[in-house]
């Protein structure tokens, strides 16, 4: 992402934040969003309702923990910085307190492969991190552990994190995690649901990878579209602010 795209990026981030509330996965001033840019990353400011947020309110942060802008960054800037630094495969970090994901998180329940869509987060489970105080390095460390080889996780007694290459992708994943969380909470009313075996989840993940590359889904080596071509795959103010 380059600097000349920042105006459009800022508008996209504000629109995504508002869609978080409209979709029901966030409320009030809970949750936050960051997106990598050429200088570092943009992050939502602290204590500003999304309906009042404007593109200029987003805070430019740097990987040394300094920032520029009229507002202070989200109290959770540390895990945004650390995830983006550790995960060059993603450009966006979305955090929210969606109701059903948080319901599981307060009990430190991971989401098992009770449904094949659990694989959308990159593995056979969607892990739940250990608890740590919000805004601390300990929480960042816990989130990084839970996100190893995953695109989403629950945060113990806190909420959820979803990653993506774009705000739209991260939002779509967060909504899917909330949907799975709701299904799992409801399924457990009837008893702990059966779990798909690892070998089936491996097939599901391969199917998802195939589809993301633009292939027609096929696990048996018979391509229904033989002529199709595969696709490509605590912050301190900056001194000069």
Q: Taking residues 144-172, report their average pLDDT.
A: 98
In CATH, what number is assigned to the domain containing residue 61?
A: 3.40.225.10
Q: What is the pLDDT of residue 220?
A: 52
Q: Taking residues 146-154, report their average pLDDT.
A: 98
In a domain, 132, yes or no: yes
From the CA atom positions of the chain, what is the Rg in Å? 19
pLDDT at 230 over 50: no
In a domain, 229, yes or no: no
In a domain, 224, yes or no: no
Kindly give the residue spans of alpha helices, DSSP state H, lying in the chain. 6-23, 77-86, 99-106, 137-146, 167-187, 198-212
The yes-or-no answer on residue 51 being catalytic is no
pLDDT at 217 over 60: no
Q: What is the pLDDT of residue 41?
A: 98
Catalytic residue among 22, 54, 68, 76: 76
Expressed as residue numbers, the domain containing 43 is 3-217
In a domain, 188, yes or no: yes
Average pLDDT, the chain: 89
| Half-sphere exposure (Cβ direction) of 9: Cα atoms closer than 13 Å | 23
Task: Please check whether residue 146 is in contact with residue 160, taking contact to mean a CB–CB distance below 8 angstroms.
Answer: no
Q: Kindly report which listed range (19-28, 123-132, 163-172, 225-234) carries the lowest average pLDDT score.
A: 225-234
Q: Each residue of 52-71: pLDDT tens digit? A: 999 999 999 999 999 998 99
Q: What is the pLDDT of residue 235?
A: 55
Q: In degrees rounded to 5, what are phi and psi of residue 2?
A: -115, 160
More confident residue, 162 or 227: 162
In a domain, 234, yes or no: no
More confident residue, 226 or 131: 131
CA 69/CA 200 separation, integer angstroms: 49
Q: Taking residues 123-137, report their average pLDDT.
A: 98
And the tokens for 222?
């018979």
CA 153/CA 168 separation, integer angstroms: 18
Q: What is the pLDDT of residue 225?
A: 40
Q: What is the pLDDT of residue 5?
A: 56
pLDDT at 2 over 60: no
Q: Kindly report which listed range (27-31, 153-157, 224-228) carries the lowest average pLDDT score.
A: 224-228
Q: What is the pLDDT of residue 4?
A: 43
CA 214/CA 122 separation, integer angstroms: 18
In a domain, 223, yes or no: no
Task: Please check whether residue 156 is in contact with residue 142, taking contact to mean a CB–CB distance below 8 angstroms.
Answer: yes
Q: What is the pLDDT of residue 240?
A: 43
And the tokens for 12?
């996209």
- Tell me the three state secondary structure of residue 3: helix
Q: Each residue of 30-42: pLDDT tens digit? A: 899 999 999 999 9
Task: Please check whether residue 20 is in contact with residue 96, taking contact to mean a CB–CB distance below 8 angstroms.
Answer: yes
CA 131/CA 138 separation, integer angstroms: 9
Q: What is the pLDDT of residue 28?
A: 82
Question: HEC string of 138-197?
Answer: HHHHHHHHHCCCCCEEEECCCEEEEEECCHHHHHHHHHHHHHHHHHHHHHHHHCCCCCCC
CA 152/CA 130 separation, integer angstroms: 15
Please state the domain count of the chain. 1
Task: Please check whether residue 105 is in contact with residue 184, taking contact to mean a CB–CB distance below 8 angstroms.
Answer: no
Q: What is the pLDDT of residue 27?
A: 85
Q: Taking residues 156-172, report their average pLDDT.
A: 97
In a domain, 241, yes or no: no
In a domain, 139, yes or no: yes
CA 219/CA 170 separation, integer angstroms: 27
């Amino acid at each position: 992402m380059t600097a000349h795209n920042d105006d459009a990026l800022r508008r996209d981030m504000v629109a995504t934040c508002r869609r978080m509330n409209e979709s029901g996965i966030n409320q009030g001033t809970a949750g936050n969003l960051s997106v990598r840019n050429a200088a570092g990353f943009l992050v939502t400011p602290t204590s500003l309702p999304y309906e009042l947020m404007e593109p200029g309110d987003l805070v430019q942060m740097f990987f040394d923990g300094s920032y520029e802008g009229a507002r202070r960054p989200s109290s959770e800037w540390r895990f945004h910085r650390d995830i983006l630094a550790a995960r060059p495969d993603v450009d966006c970090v979305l955090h929210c307190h969606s109701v059903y994901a948080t319901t599981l998180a307060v009990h430190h329940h991971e989401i098992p492969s009770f449904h094949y869509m659990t694989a959308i987060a990159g593995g056979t489970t969607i892990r739940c991190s250990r608890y740590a105080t919000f805004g601390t390095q300990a929480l960042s460390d816990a989130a990084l552990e839970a996100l190893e080889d995953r695109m989403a996780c629950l945060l113990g007694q806190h909420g959820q994190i979803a990653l993506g290459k774009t705000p739209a992708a991260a939002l779509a994943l967060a909504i899917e995690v909330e949907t799975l969380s709701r299904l799992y909470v409801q399924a457990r009313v009837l008893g702990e649901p059966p779990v798909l075996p690892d070998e089936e989840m491996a097939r599901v993940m391969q199917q998802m990878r195939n589809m993301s590359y633009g292939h027609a889904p096929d696990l048996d080596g018979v391509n229904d579209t033989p002529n199709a071509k595969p696709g490509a795959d605590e912050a301190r103010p900056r001194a000069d602010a």
